Amino acid sequence: MKKPLVAMSLTLALPILANAADTASPSYNFRDNWPTHYVFSDGTDLGLAVKYQDDLDNFSNDDGRLKDSSTNRRKEFGAYIKKKDVYDATVVYDFQAKTWLDVFFRLQTKALFGNDLGAVRVGQSKLPVGFEGNTGTGSTTFLETALPMQAVYAGRRIGVDWQWLRPAYLINAGYYQRDLQGDNHGHTVAARAAWTPLNKPGDVVHLGVSASRETPDGSTDGRGIHTPPSARLRSRPEAGLTTVRLIDSGNLPFTDYIDRRGFESLWIHGPWSLQGEYLDAKVKFFNGKPAYHGEGFYAFGSWVVTGESRGYAGGNVSDVKPKGALGALELAIRYSQLDLNDGAVLGGKQHDWTFGANWYINRYLKLQANYILAKSKKRNVSVDPDVFEVRAQVMF
């Protein structure tokens, strides 16, 4: 309990120090413009990317299956270089998970051909299936992604992709192989398209679809033992500090390919917003077994009490940018559902209600709190935990 309280105390103290700096130098607003990057005379922008999250998860009504925890959720450090309408490159590492995150170089075709034919990216990045999963982990409305997103989302892979972005639509397609940790052997093709008939600050309508096909490879260890390719769908109870999954398909060996699909929607109107998504995954086997199908959806609404709007750009959402000296306050509620029962595979069913509150102190500091009512049943075992979780975040 001590570590999150210390982190929150520091988070609350920083705006006070920042306001003092504002008073000393009225020509420069340190509170909202931390000096984390430098822009050269030719427009080249060189900077740091840091994200620190300290979480507390407290469980009750869980039959002793889940353990209370308080620790770092993420400790990400990276750097970037970019030049508008020409290129950008980034490299980020999470020292908490000991995992490489985004590591890529992206080139705008307009800089080469004079006409904007989209952007080409090479390196490790997120696969485009999963709207909530592709939202930056520092900009999510809730502490953790919804149940179906955790089960279906494929994460980051190394590959090459192309994106064509216009005010009224976007198209993204790519080819990917394993990740920088050496996991997820095989190859994946993925694509996403979205229509945005309204695309102005505080006034957004976004409707999208996405799909991918992953063909995993088996592996052979040093003893010559071969492990056939497999798949697995599972989800935490929307709490990131536990390793317990209340529902889990288990290992699905002899996987030929995995098809993932997503249908996404977003509406932002002033301080109000609605967001929802349906996701499914179908696992096809090469040993003659019937295909396995898991599916789920989530829907949530949010209200920014202080009047600001959720941000939106490039086909994704971003944090609220507070306008007042006391920051911005957002209230949200989400329902999510996941069904991993199909045929002989009894992975279980679960649905969660999540109630959330976010305090955006400034562009870099945020406090979040969630209360989750989870209900799960796997075979004949029902576990219905309540979860209280809080997060202190510094991100720039």
Report pLDDT digits (tens) over 260-294: 999 999 999 999 999 999 999 999 999 889 999 99
- Mean per-residue pLDDT for 341-346? 97
pLDDT of residue 193: 98
Residue labelled with tokens 């149940």: 147
**Domains (ranges, CATH) in the chain?**
2-23+53-74+127-395 (2.40.160.10)
Is residue 14 over pLDDT 50? no
So what's the pLDDT on residue 31? 58
Percent of the chain clearing pLDDT 90 (strictly above): 87
- pLDDT surpasses 50 at 12: no
Residue 30 main-chain phi, psi, to 5 deg? -65, -35
Are 295 and 278 in contact, with CB atoms under 8 Å apart?
Answer: yes
Question: Both tokens of residue 293?
Answer: 């199908």
Single out the residue of 56, 93, 52, 55 nearest to residue 74, CA to CA.
52
Q: Tell me what pLDDT residue 26 has.
A: 46
Q: What is the mean pLDDT of residues 231-239?
A: 97
Mean pLDDT of the 231-253 span: 97
Which H or E element spans position 8?
A: helix 2-24
pLDDT at 377 (0 to 100): 97
**150 pLDDT above the threshold of 50:** yes
Cα Rg for the chain, rounded, in angstroms?
A: 22
pLDDT at 24 over 50: no
Residue position matching structure tokens 């075979």: 379
Mean pLDDT along residues 88-103: 98
Mean pLDDT of 286-312: 97
Query: What is the overall mean pLDDT for the chain?
Result: 92
- Is the pLDDT at 21 greater than 90? The verdict is no
CA dist 174 and 163 (Å) reads: 9
Least-confidence region, from 1-15, 180-194, 202-216, 314-328: 1-15
Q: What is the pLDDT of residue 29?
A: 58
Q: Show the tokens assigned to 237.
A: 């109870």
